[in-house]
Chain A
Amino acid sequence: MVIAVVVLKIAKIVALWTLLVVIALFFGIPLVWLVLSAFDPNASPEFRIPSTISLRNFMLLVEPVSGVPPLMWIVNSAIISTLVATIVTITSILAAYVLTRYSFRGQSAMLTAFIVFRLIPPLILALPIMILYRSWGMMDTIHGLVLAMSALILPFTMMIAESFLRSIPVTYEEAAMIDGCTRLGSFLKITLPLAAPGIATIWLLSFVTSWSQFVLPLMIIKTPSLMPASVGLQFFFGEYGRVEYGKLSAFSILYSLPVLIVFLAVQKYLKRGIAGLVSR
């Protein structure tokens, strides 16, 4: 009897382990292949441990592909994402301040509209934006891309900003104003410092969202030297289906690093944010 219980317990543990290992393999294999091939000077789709491990693929990224050194696409991405994140953070904090500190007609309708906007598939917007940009002369411009990208991300960051500012009690600001602080002063000296972690989170999340965005630059940017990394990457796919796997994997890893670092920094807020989607 006792033996049967022990056997059953062990069988349960082994079953759980097996399932976890299978899941880890399924999710891990494409990632492991990416890392292995980046350090393999003779990389191919084949899954193998490189016979010689080298940084050659990374070094080669300074040499031009289609006339542009791939590292420049990463620099472009950094410039574009910094601009987008800054625009989006400022506008969404200001808007969220108004939404949480004042009341006006149509306020809840506006919040509802923002939820709708953030769920619109990007392609639905990218197509007409491309058409409009062709007549506005904004095709192939960085400012055109930055503005469209900011608008795409804004509904998402607005909701985060709104929930952060709502969690800061208005009474703090009122107390400061009773003590002679102006409204602007209370915003700058009380609200902003208290919202600082939220502001940082918003900036970082909008940075990585813009960093990874693909559809908008695909439709708007045509000149290789202006491209962000997400679309510059296509040039590693040569003609006739020839792919430079090693360099592309090395590039992919460099391109993914900032995203991994940012999510490490904001993971604390992530689960709370996702739980917040379940109910009002």
Chain B
Amino acid sequence: MPSIERLKDMLLEGAGARLLILPALALIGVFVVFPVIWNVYISMTNYALTGPRARAYEFIGLENYVRILRDPSFYNTLRVSFMFTLFSAIIGQAFLGLGLALMLRAKEPEGVLGKITRALKITASILVFIAWIIPEVVAGYAWSAITSKGGLISMLLGINDDIYVRYPFETIVVANIWRGTAFSMILFTAALEGIPQYIYEAAEIDGAGPWYRFRHIILPLISQAILVDFILITIWTYGVFTMPFMIVGPSGQGGVAQIWTLYVYYDAINVYEVSYAATAANIMFLIVLAMIIVYLRAIGYLKKW
């Protein structure tokens, strides 16, 4: 007769211990994997948010997919999402983040001048960081307020109107750059710190100028970080919902700024066409999945294919 201790040990030693992974797998299975599959099923029905089609919905095959591929508003949201991601992630966040990381590394002269430089560096990086960590709804609210009529941005531009109505796309692009730059800044700062000091010194002794040093020493050494940064911020920016939702609303000011997440929400909640929204979400999910596979390959998973 084994003792209680021995029983516990057997549980932890043998196959039993592996069962400790089950709570995690159950949560993921029920609330992540199953919903993704269910979304595929719903997209093949005529399920609606209210009315008779909410209670008794029917299987309609690929009808929604045929319909959406002929829907101009779907192509509009594809285009807006692409432009939003390009301008906000790659052109905005990545370049500003790299620029900031380089500035934060800039040499600090002796004395008072150095102290001022240091204070400015710390202030700028803390503000960039806070913009990134505060709750997204708070960031969205602050941006919708300062781009309202009478807010600072409308004053600066001399336009006595709501900027987010007049320029909805530009507003969400800039707001999202504001929100997300910190990630690239931190990633590039870590990458730059990984470059040994003697490499800079050797280059300087050899008479390499700042541009040459950047182009031929720094850039090749952080190329992996740049690649990963591009992919990750593209995936995240592509999936952004909350800030644009707060600033331009689910319709994206008549479609002008309607990125796909807003499109899905609008179809499901505002016009009750849940199965159509699920169809759009599935197509967009395939695009994210492709980007995730690129990421996995970039960091060394999935070497084979």
Q: Main SS of the interface on chain A?
A: helix
What chain B residues lie within 8 Å of A192 (beta carbons)? none
A33, B142: Cβ atoms closer than 8 Å: yes
Which residues of B are at the interface with A, using a C-beta cutoff of 8 A?
5, 8-9, 12-13, 17-18, 20-21, 23-25, 27-28, 30-32, 34-36, 38-39, 42, 47, 96, 99-100, 103, 106, 109, 113, 116-117, 120-121, 123-124, 127-131, 133-139, 141-143, 145-146, 148-152, 155, 178, 181, 183, 186-187, 189-191, 194, 224-225, 228, 232, 235, 238-239, 241-242, 261, 264-265, 268, 274, 277-278, 281, 284-285, 288-289, 292, 295-296, 299-302
Report B240 CB to chain A, min CB distance, Å: 8
Pick the contact of B28: A155, A233, A280 (CB < 8 A). Answer: A155
A124, B301: Cβ atoms closer than 8 Å: no
B242, A215: Cβ atoms closer than 8 Å: yes
Most buried by B among A44, A87, A120, A208: A120
Which residues of A are at the interface with B, using a C-beta cutoff of 8 A?
9, 13, 16-17, 19-21, 23-24, 26-31, 33-34, 37, 44-47, 87, 90-92, 94-95, 97-99, 101-102, 104, 112, 115-117, 119-125, 127-132, 147-148, 150-152, 154-155, 158, 182-184, 187, 208, 211-212, 214-215, 229-231, 233, 243, 245, 248, 252, 255-256, 259-260, 263, 270-272, 274-275, 277-280
The 6 closest A-B pairs by CB, nearest first: A121-B239, A151-B31, A45-B151, A95-B24, A128-B35, A212-B135
Pick the contact of B39: A124, A229, A248, A280 (CB < 8 A). Answer: A124
B187, A123: Cβ atoms closer than 8 Å: no
A21, B120: Cβ atoms closer than 8 Å: yes
Q: Main SS of the interface on chain B?
A: helix
B190, A33: Cβ atoms closer than 8 Å: no
Report A30 CB to chain B, min CB distance, Å: 4
What chain B residues lie within 8 Å of A121 (beta carbons)? 238-239, 241, 261, 285, 288
What chain B residues lie within 8 Å of A120 (beta carbons)? 32, 36, 239, 285, 288
With contacts A102-B18, A124-B36, A271-B186 taken as known, whether A31 is within 8 angstroms of B130 at the C-beta atoms is yes
Report B155 CB to chain A, min CB distance, Å: 7
A–B pairs, 8, beta carbons within 8 Å: A87-B27, A112-B301, A121-B285, A123-B261, A147-B31, A150-B27, A182-B5, A252-B141
What chain B residues lie within 8 Å of A87 (beta carbons)? 27
Measured between alpha carbons, how far is A17 from B268 in the docked complex, in Å? 49
Report B280 CB to chain A, min CB distance, Å: 10
